[in-house]
């Protein structure tokens, strides 16, 4: 078994559902941290989902971030299994950045 540390970063320039991280095949991803930051000075909110096969599960819905604020979404690690996909959706384009720190176990 090997552990690899990585991160996934997005500047949410659209209000479309956007893939943040896809867990590779034969891998388990442990998301240690997920930071959301507002760079607009206005504040905004976002949604976070995890997709497993054809099923979509809400992790956060309309999570608020204050103007120029930064929020940590996770207080415990989040396990993402092989093939599962973390997606984020901003309420308004060009306001939020997302950074997730992930340990992948193969």
Domain ranges of the chain: 3-105
To which residue do tokens 């976002």 refer?
A: 46
**Which pLDDT score is estimated for 89?**
98
pLDDT, mean of each 10-residue run, the chain (106 residues): 94 97 97 97 96 97 96 97 98 97 97
Task: Give CA–CA dist 95/39, Å, rounded.
Answer: 6
Spatial strand order of the sheet with 44-52 comes to: 18-22, 85-90, 44-52, 55-65
Task: Give CA–CA dist 7/21, Å, rounded.
Answer: 9
**Which segments within 13-74 are labelled E, that is strand?**
18-22, 28-38, 44-52, 55-65, 70-72
CATH T-level assignment (fold) for domain 3-105: Jelly Rolls (2.60.120)
Q: With contact defined as beta carbons under 8 Å apart, do 20 and 96 qualify? A: no
**Which pLDDT score is estimated for 1?**
75
**Which pLDDT score is estimated for 106?**
94
């Amino acid at each position: 078994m090997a552990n690899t540390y990585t991160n996934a970063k997005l500047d949410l320039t659209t209000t479309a559902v956007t893939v943040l991280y896809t867990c590779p095949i034969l891998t388990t991803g442990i998301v240690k941290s997920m930071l959301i930051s507002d760079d607009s000075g206005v504040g905004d909110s976002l949604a976070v989902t995890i997709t497993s096969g054809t099923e979509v599960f809400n992790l956060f819905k309309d999570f608020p971030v204050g103007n120029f604020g930064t929020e940590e979404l996770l207080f415990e690690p989040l396990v993402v299994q092989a093939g599962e996909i973390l997606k984020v959706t901003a309420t308004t384009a060009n306001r939020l950045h997302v950074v997730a720190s992930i340990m992948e176990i193969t």
